[in-house]
Amino acid sequence: MLDACRPVRLTLSRIGDKWSVLIVMALCGGPRRFNELKRAIDGISQRMLTLTLRGMERDGLISRTVHPTTPPRVEYALTDLGRTLREPIEALGQWAVENESRIRAAQERFDAAG
Amino acid sequence: MLDACRPVRLTLSRIGDKWSVLIVMALCGGPRRFNELKRAIDGISQRMLTLTLRGMERDGLISRTVHPTTPPRVEYALTDLGRTLREPIEALGQWAVENESRIRAAQERFDAAG
DNA sequence: CTGGATCCGCAATGATACTG
DNA sequence: CAGTATCATTGCGGATCCAG
């Protein structure tokens, strides 16, 4: 079990950032263009979208295909590897949904205790 | 599925930091004292251990019990809620182990392509 | 032993302007 | 449209000193 320490840390350093998971979610429905992603992911800056997409492309999680038209059309999509990430991510999401209220309750108790 | 966006982000902001997962791992075997944790988790500073433990205690993931002896003895342990986190974390760990080589290969391909 | 308090550096993120 | 480049800002994390 402690064998999982290092890989978990590596994975978290990949998808634990502020935007990667949201990008995975946004791409679940199929390929999306750059500005489609920008609009879909509320609050992300152009810069961070570019950087995060690059990193995920480097890790083989997403693919980037350029259609040489004018104006340029660039589509991002989950790779097979990227799609497999959905499962553990959704496990985490399910945990979060199931325990959201308990966490909030714990926080309020803690804050009240001072 | 997109319902999971917000909770996943919240969860990641909790356990996506540099040390939380390692603390969960370290506490899997039972309660640990402050300095036991410090020794078990290589590279963590006193400050970050304190801060991370506080945050996790606030979220109800771990408990902190003080034995009023001299010298003081403080034990940290996973709560029931904290133990349930192990499952999705291990799912992530398993994904990481299974796909580590594919990720490295993708990175090398990407870097080679320049 | 178990922290709290303080200072500091660096990396991550954001805002803005510019380009093919 | 899809970026790149630059600057400003913020917060995380480390180092150090101090205390019950």
**CB B9 to CB A15 under 8 A?**
no
| pLDDT given at position B44 | 95
Which residues of chain B are within 8 Å of residue A16 when distances are taken between CB atoms?
A: 12, 16-17
**Angle at CA of residue A38, ends B3 and A21, nearest 5°:** 45
Helix (H) or strand (E) holding B89: helix B80-113
Domain ranges of chain B: 4-112
| pLDDT given at position B1 | 45
Q: What is the percentage of chain B residues whose pLDDT exceeds 90?
A: 82
**CB B60 to CB A12 under 8 A?**
no
Tell me the mean pLDDT per 10 residues along chain A, length 114: 68 91 95 97 96 98 95 97 95 92 94 86
Given A59, A92, A102, which is nearest B103 (Cβ)? Answer: A59
CA distance B35 to B46: 9
**Statement: B4-112 belongs to CATH 3.30.70.580:** no
The DSSP result for A62-99, as a single string, is EEEEEE--SS-EEEEEE-HHHHHHHHHHHHHHHHHHHH
pLDDT digits (tens, 9 = 90+) for B17-66: 999 999 999 999 999 999 999 999 999 999 999 999 999 999 999 999 99
Q: Report how far apart, in Å, the C-alpha atoms of A12 and of each of A36, A107, A109, B42 are.
A: 26, 24, 29, 18
Q: How far is the CA of B47 from the C1' of C10 (A)?
A: 17
Whether pTM > 0.85 for this model: the answer is: yes
Whether the CB-CB separation of A79 and A61 falls below 8 Å is answered with: yes
**Angle at CA of residue A35, ends A34 and A39, nearest 5°:** 125
Q: Report how far apart, in Å, the C-alpha atoms of B80 and of each of A80, A105, B85, B108 are.
A: 35, 14, 9, 42
Using alpha carbons, select from B112, B105, B61, B42 the residue that is nearest to residue A99.
Answer: B61
| pLDDT given at position A1 | 45
Residue B14's pLDDT band, with cuts at 50, 70 and 90, is: confident
Once rounded to an integer, what is the mean pLDDT over residues B4-12?
Answer: 77
Length of chain B measured in residues: 114
Residue B78's pLDDT band, with cuts at 50, 70 and 90, is: very high
Handedness of CA B12, A25, A17, A46 (dihedral sign): negative
Residue B4's pLDDT band, with cuts at 50, 70 and 90, is: low
Q: What is the least distance, in Å, from the CA of A49 to any CA of chain B?
A: 16
Q: Is A90 left (phi over 0), alpha (psi -120 to 50) or beta?
A: alpha
- Which residue's entry shows tokens 């097979």? A80
Residue B11's pLDDT band, with cuts at 50, 70 and 90, is: confident
Q: Is B100 exposed, middle or buried (0-12, 13-18, 19+ CB in 10 A)?
A: middle
**CB B110 to CB A57 under 8 A?**
yes
